[in-house]
Amino acid sequence: MNIEEPDNYTKWKRQPLSALLFCIIGSLINIAGSSIAVRFDLPIFLDSAGTILTAAFGGYLPGIAVGYITNVINGISDITNAYYAVINILLALAAAFFERHGFFRNFFKILIAVFVFALIGGGIGSILTYCLYGFNFGEGISAPFAIYIHDNLIENVFFAQLLADLFVDFIDKAITVTLVIITMRLMPQKLRPLIHFYGWRQTPIKDSEETLIDSHKTRGLSLQHKILLILSIAIVVIAVSTVGMCFILFHNAIIDEHSDTCKSIASLAATTIDGNKVDDYIGNGESSDDYLKIKSQLQAIKESSPNIKYLYVYKIEKDGCHVVFDLDSTDSYGNISAGSSPGDVIPFDPSFEPYLDLLLKGENIPPIISDDSYGWLLTVYQPIYNSDGKCACYAAADISMHQETLDEISFLAKCISLFFAFFILILAIGLWLARYNVILPINTMSLAAEEFAFTSENEREESVKKFNALDIRTGDEIERLYNSFAKTIQDTNGYIMDIQNQSNVISKMQNGLIMVLADIVESRDKCTGDHIKKTAAYVKIIIDQLRINGDYTDVLTDEYRDNVVHSAPLHDIGKIKVPDSILNKPGKLTDEEFEVMKQHTTAGKEIIEDAITLVDESGYLTEAKDLAAYHHEKWNGKGYPEGLAGEEIPLSARIMAVADVFDALLSKRSYKEPFTFEKALSIIEEGSGTHFEPTIVKAFVDAQNEVRKIAEMNISKEYHF
């Protein structure tokens, strides 16, 4: 794992201050752009330039913070700006993504970025505006579009306005991205890391290491995704509960407000009507003395409240509602519908049937919300009494519930836009804190542990040094875990060193015991001298040269070489069962005696097989068994004890065959004088392809300089394995 140099840690501790300063600059750019646009009445605002610039240089969190704070500050003077914080935050997310993936370094990708920014600012912005204000149809609406109905033709200018907003915002974002690119070109490269909002609680790691950590797969949800899920659920639950309660309170407040308005209008209308003349108004209508005057007064009362859709006076009878007054109604689009004439009987709407008994008795009824023949209405009935104190009729006022629904939708859109912006901000802060305080420390520890090298003492020490250099300082359980982990690694490294030292001692003791055992066997053969030590040395030379020549690379591992070399002294262990009379006979052996001598191979094999049954790990002794059993086999199949040929003979035995014969040629025997080095080497070469494997002979000849050193050495004093 690559980490920053420790002397850079102080720089990273100061880094958040420079990043915070850059965030302040970004916020001022947003505010300045908006102020200039308003001051000079420009069609473009550049009120997100600071957001995109900060996100491109500083990452997700600074961009989101700048976008949110800017709109909150502007919302102090005009609350409308706060509703559009979500747009600025979405722009920040897009800008950080584009910078991370190199979009600002390629012309065509720059065009894609500008188009996406325009979709967010112009497209989503227009849709949000529609949700916030676009439902207030008719004259005086503040929205940038509306639906007008005239002569049964509906002209929807929403899409026209949407395209216009996209076009203007495309220009706005093109200018903004140009400013970002210019800033990137002019800003010194060494300053850019200081602007990015890091929160290291450890020695910083390289970007490549951070990418590697992020790319690691887990069996289930990653820790980062779990934190994201928990934060999201918590925030959503809180938001839904809060928005739900606010919506219910708003709904009830609207109902109460509309009910109070209707009651006030109905009560005021009731005061203008003489209850004693109701029957006259019904029978004579406009010909009654003061009918038109009262109707004019009722019209003025209705127009005093723009929310009132219908105002009328009914006398309730069993056969229906008898019209006393029914004013003409004008809807929000300018369409006029004439009221009913005096004396007309209007059937009861189904919604009023539960209250008929009360109405027929002239009693008060609560406000009624109905959706019948006259539409979705909230209705309040106010009794009008005659001089006898009896209810002569009712003054009624209606407010359309459609307007309430539109107000509620607008209210809900405002709540959701505010929540969504706050949700992303809190989520970004939570993930940022979790990333630098939990996720990265844990994952860097994990990565350092995965890369820990045990192959050598130097590599272990280097791995421990790298782990300690992480210097995690979260000040919580993570730091405690890191310190415990570091101590465990340090202790484990010490234990490994102790075990290796003990293993080396045991290995040396084992090799020493093997040599002692071999010496015991050798001491019975008075002609062999340093045979076991020199043959082991030749075996090592041959194996090393085979590896240099590139032969048997898949077999000749370090472990294989050590096993063969250290077990080589046991190749003649079977001689312990050969009688002294045969083993040390001064002359040539008879055929019968030679047959007995040949049995030392099978005897050695049996001895080592017995030893193998006593240990769990038999790799070491397996090679010793092969050496003891087959070192007298020949490449052409004419050896003993089994007459194996070619690669049927174990590789270790084929190597020992060369070493054994060569040392025998150089050694003095009771029946011969020693050969010279050159003569012995030529005999080995002559046996290539018959007695010995050609590949092994070649390796032996290639290493003849090393072989000569062993041949001329007093190995018992000078050579150590």
In this prediction, residue 508 has a pLDDT band, given cuts at 50, 70 and 90, of low
Rounded Cα–Cα distance for residues 208 and 551 (Å): 40
Condensed to tens digits (0 to 9), the pLDDT of residues 374-403 reads: 778 999 999 999 999 999 999 999 998 887
For 201, list phi and psi in degrees, rounded to 5: -115, 25
Rounded Cα gap, residues 489 and 451, in angstroms: 13
The pLDDT assigned to 515 comes to 54
The yes-or-no verdict on residue 679 having pLDDT over 80 is yes
Lowest mean pLDDT of 30-39, 507-516, 637-646, name the range.
507-516
Buried residues in 609-627 as b, exposed as e (16+ CB within 10 A): eebbeeeeebebbbbbbbb
Closest CA to 564 of 683, 655, 678, 430: 655
Residue 507 has pLDDT above 80, yes or no: no
Q: What's CA 516's distance to the chain center, in Å?
A: 63
Tell me the pLDDT tens digit for each residue of 55-94.
988 889 999 999 999 888 888 877 888 888 999 999 999 9
Are 583 and 600 in contact, with CB atoms under 8 Å apart?
no
Q: Which of 68, 64, 95 is nearest to 81 (CA)?
A: 68
Alpha-carbon span 443 to 453, nearest angstrom: 18
Q: Which of 72, 57, 1, 60 is nearest to 25 (CA)?
A: 57
Q: Which pLDDT tens digit goes with each residue over 133-166?
A: 764 433 333 333 333 333 333 345 567 777 888 8
Question: In this predicted model, what pLDDT tens digit does every residue of 250-282 receive, in sequence order?
Answer: 989 988 999 999 999 999 999 999 999 999 999
DSSP 8-state secondary structure symbol assigned to residue 340 = P
| CATH for 517-718, options being 1.10.287.1080, 4.10.640.10, 1.10.3210.10, 3.40.50.620 | 1.10.3210.10
Mean predicted confidence (pLDDT) in 330-356: 76
pLDDT of residue 648: 94
The predicted-structure confidence for 169-224, as pLDDT tens digits, reads as follows 899 889 889 988 898 888 887 777 777 778 888 888 887 778 877 777 888 888 88
- Beta carbons within 10 angstroms of residue 494's beta carbon: 12
Same fold? 1-198, 517-718: no
In this structure, the dihedral spanned by the alpha carbons of residues 97, 102, 105 and 107, taken in order and rounded to 10 degrees, is: -70
**Class of domain 251-408 as given by CATH:** alpha beta
Domain boundaries of the chain, sorted by first residue: 1-198, 251-408, 517-718
Confidence class of residue 122 from pLDDT cuts 50, 70 and 90? confident
Instruction: Supply the DSSP symbol for 675.
Output: P
Angle (CA) 236-238-242 rounded to 5° is 115
Q: Which residues lie across from 395 on neighbouring strands?
A: 313, 382
Kindly state the greatest CA–CA separation across the chain.
166
Contact 51, 31 (CB under 8 A): no
Helix, strand, coil content of the chain in percent (nearest 5): 65, 10, 25
Which amino acid type is present at position 245? Answer: M
**Average pLDDT in the chain:** 83
Helix (H, G, I), strand (E, B) or coil at 384: strand
Distances (CA, A) of 381 to 15, 317, 384, 390, 571: 70, 15, 10, 15, 119
**pLDDT in the model for residue 503:** 59
CB neighbours of 602 closer than 8 A, spacing ≥ 6?
A: 574, 629, 641
CA pair distance 176, 117, nearest whole angstrom: 10
Instruction: Write out the H or E segment, with its range, that includes residue 238.
Output: helix 223-271
User: What secondary structure, in 3-state letters, does 427-439 show?
Assistant: HHHHHHHHHHHHH
Q: Is 478 helix (H, G, I), strand (E, B) or coil?
A: helix
Alpha-carbon gap, residue 396 to 311, rounded angstroms:
6
pLDDT digits (tens, 9 = 90+) for 420-435: 898 999 999 998 889 8
Residue 328 CA neighbour count, 13 Å, CB half: 7
Q: What percent of the chain has pLDDT over 90?
A: 32
Question: Which segment of 20-24, 304-308, 455-459 scores lowest on mean pLDDT?
Answer: 455-459
Whole-number pLDDT of residue 128: 86
Output the pLDDT for position 505.
Answer: 54
Judged against a pLDDT cut of 80, whether residue 356 lies above it is answered with yes
At 209-230, the pLDDT tens digits run: 788 777 778 888 888 888 888 9
Domain 1-198 has CATH 2.60.120: no
Per residue in 583-616, pLDDT (tens digit) is 777 778 888 888 888 898 998 888 888 878 876 6
Tokens read off for 684: 């080995």
576, pLDDT greater than 50: yes
User: How many whole angstroms separate alpha carbon 289 and alpha carbon 533?
Assistant: 144
Beta strands in 318-461 (DSSP E): 320-326, 329-330, 336-337, 345-346, 368-372, 375-385, 391-400
Q: What distance, in Å, lies between the first and last C-alpha atoms of the chain?
A: 37
